[in-house]
Amino acid sequence: MFKTQLLISGLVLLSFVAYTQQVKQPYYYQSVNNQDKTIDFVFGLYPATINYYESKDFPPYTAIRTAVFNKSKKDTLKWNNFKVDILLKSGQLISNYIPFSKENAYICTYKVIADSTHYQYFCFHTKFSNGDIDRAWLQISEDEIFSLNYEKNE
């Protein structure tokens, strides 16, 4: 009995140590809302998720994972091809393109129900890595552009 308790205690301790030593990833984010809170969401961009893809079936692209958390308690958020603009440290400004996907995490038009999160990948024709990003913005219309805040998450 004592050996079993000791073994369980050791496993719990090892799990805790492993959990606390996990590397935290930096991210970009911005809270977006209007006065009457019919639009109320947080957008997050996760540079550690960047992947570059090449294939004979399609042009090469870089994809980055994002999340949209609809903070509204009652209203559905309509996401309609909003754009992500990224300024690379090289000085190059890039914008995502709209993939042809009609389903999965690459679609660009969808609804996020109240108090829920939707994950999406944004695709870029330019090859870059997370260390190449200088700044980022979310563009929901031509005159509504939100600078994304950088969080080191250390």
pTM score, two decimals?
0.80
**11-31 pLDDT per residue, tens:** 333 333 343 335 689 999 999
**Token duo for residue 47:** 């540079």
Confidence class of residue 123 from pLDDT cuts 50, 70 and 90? very high
3-state secondary structure at position 97: strand
**Token duo for residue 93:** 């400004």
Which residue shows structure tokens 């990948």?
Answer: 121
Q: Could you give the C-alpha distances from 121 to 12, 14, 18, 57, 80, in angstroms and in order?
A: 35, 34, 29, 19, 14
* Position 134 pLDDT exceeds 60: yes
Domains in the chain, CATH or no CATH each: 24-151 (2.60.40.1240)
Arithmetic mean of pLDDT over the chain: 84
Predicted confidence at residue 107, as pLDDT, reads: 83
